[in-house]
Amino acid sequence: MSNSLYIVIVGCGRLGSHLANQLSHVGHSVVVIDRDEATFNDLSPDFSGFRVEGDATQMTVLKEAKLKRADVFFATTHEDNVNLMVAQIARKIFDVPHVVARVFDPRRQQVFDRLGIETICPTSVAAEMFLLAVASGRAAKEDTKP
Amino acid sequence: MSNSLYIVIVGCGRLGSHLANQLSHVGHSVVVIDRDEATFNDLSPDFSGFRVEGDATQMTVLKEAKLKRADVFFATTHEDNVNLMVAQIARKIFDVPHVVARVFDPRRQQVFDRLGIETICPTSVAAEMFLLAVASGRAAKEDTKP
């Protein structure tokens, strides 16, 4: 597949494993890194990528994942500080062109932005969707209550 | 404000408090319920709604929040099972017209759907956004690597 990307994902939790399965399924080369080997059980049986067990804040672990080759890097652990640290290493030291990090605390997004790291905050995204639901609730109220 | 809605939010964590602050700020009547009084510290100083300390799976607590009046009900605790339970009570017993629950495990969304509860899954939403980032990564690769 000529459009295949080399994608490194740190964190094999619910989000990381979901992404790894999807991206491997459509033909990308995927490497997943997690400290806890048990998390690899969430990878689907037809996941064709690589698993690296180790602490992604260690350079040796990132080198083992061949981060230098990566087109895309995702930091999806449950710790904002870990995501910030590994995302910066990927961006600044390994020159990965596209780096995206999950960040739980919306107030930290500004810090990531200044450091040139693209972020996705599930809390902010979910909040926007809830607020859209309020808008539709108001529409429903206007329909039923004259 | 004639368009003001009566909104009950269960869970005053990061998502719940953010929603409560925003919705109160734009003029809605908001009641937030949480078992842990300390979580109310995340409400902004100009939050003009009500705080109810208690377990939202108890009918007395929901009655205290005047759930019967609610136009919109949000279940935002960190436990999918609690969200499912209180959302069902709001929908079936208190006839709240618009009920939305956060669900962390995407596999549970189908159950909620069958029970008529609208759900928002931060993991699924975040995953979609990461996959969009891959699409833009591929575009970048095509631009730079002939």
With an 8 Å Cβ cutoff, are A126 and B120 in contact? Answer: yes
**Bridge partners (DSSP) listed for residue A50:** A31
Residues 6+ apart with CB under 8 A from A133: B72, B74, B98, B100, B118, B120
CA distance B52 to B136: 45
Give the mean pLDDT of A20-37: 96
Structure tokens at A137: 């609730």
Q: Which member of B19, B130, B138 has the closest CB to residue A130?
A: B19
Question: What residues of chain B lie within 8 A of the CB of A76, using their CB?
Answer: 130
The letter for the amino acid at B94 is F
> Of B72, B118, B141, which is closest to A71 when you measure between CB atoms?
B141
Interchain CB distance below 8 Å, B98 and A140: yes
Residues of B in contact with A22 (CB under 8 A): 127, 131
pLDDT band at B1 (very low <50, low <70, confident <90, very high): very low
Separation between Cα atoms, residue A2 and residue B55, nearest integer Å? 55
Question: Is the Cβ pair A120, B131 closer than 8 Å?
Answer: no
The answer to whether residues B8 and B33 touch, using CB atoms and an 8 Å cutoff, is yes
pLDDT level of residue B60 (50, 70, 90 thresholds) = very high
Residue B129 DSSP label: H
H or E element in which residue A127 lies: helix A122-144
Q: Report if pTM > 0.90.
A: no
Contacts of A108 in chain B (CB under 8 A): none
Residues B93 and B138: their CA atoms lie apart, in Å, by 50
Inter-chain Cβ pairs, chain A and chain B, closer than 8 A: 116
Q: What token pair was written down for B109?
A: 């969304």
Distance from the first to the final alpha carbon of chain B: 58
Q: Where are the alpha helices (DSSP H) in chain B?
A: 14-25, 59-64, 80-88, 109-114, 122-144
What is the pLDDT, as a whole number, of residue A137?
A: 59
pLDDT digits (tens, 9 = 90+) for A42-57: 999 999 999 999 999 9
Q: Which of residues 82-121 of B touch A (CB under 8 A)?
A: 97-98, 100, 102, 104-106, 118, 120
Judge whether A118 and A100 are in contact, CB under 8 Å: yes
Q: ipTM, 2 decimals?
A: 0.82
What pLDDT, on a 0 to 100 scale, did the predictor assign at position B146? 46
Residue of A15, A19, A127 with shortest CB distance to B15:
A127
Instruction: Tell me the shortest Cα–Cα distance from B37 to chain A, in angstroms.
Output: 21
Question: What share of chain A has pLDDT > 90, as a percent?
Answer: 68
User: Mean pLDDT over all residues of chain B?
Assistant: 89
Q: How many CA atoms lie within 13 A of A94 on its CB side?
A: 25
pLDDT digits (tens, 9 = 90+) for B29-49: 999 999 999 999 999 999 999
Cα A62 to Cα A33: distance, rounded to the nearest angstrom: 8
Is the CB of residue A59 less than 8 Å away from at least one CB of chain B? no
Proportion of chain B in helix, strand, coil states, percent, rounded to 5: 50, 20, 30
Query: Looking at the complex, does the CB of residue A141 fall below 8 Å from at least one CB of chain B?
Result: yes
CB A26 within 8 A of CB A92: no
Cα A63 from chain centroid?
A: 19
Test A130 with B71 for CB contact under 8 angstroms.
Answer: no
Contact residues on chain B for A105, CB-CB shorter than 8 A: 14
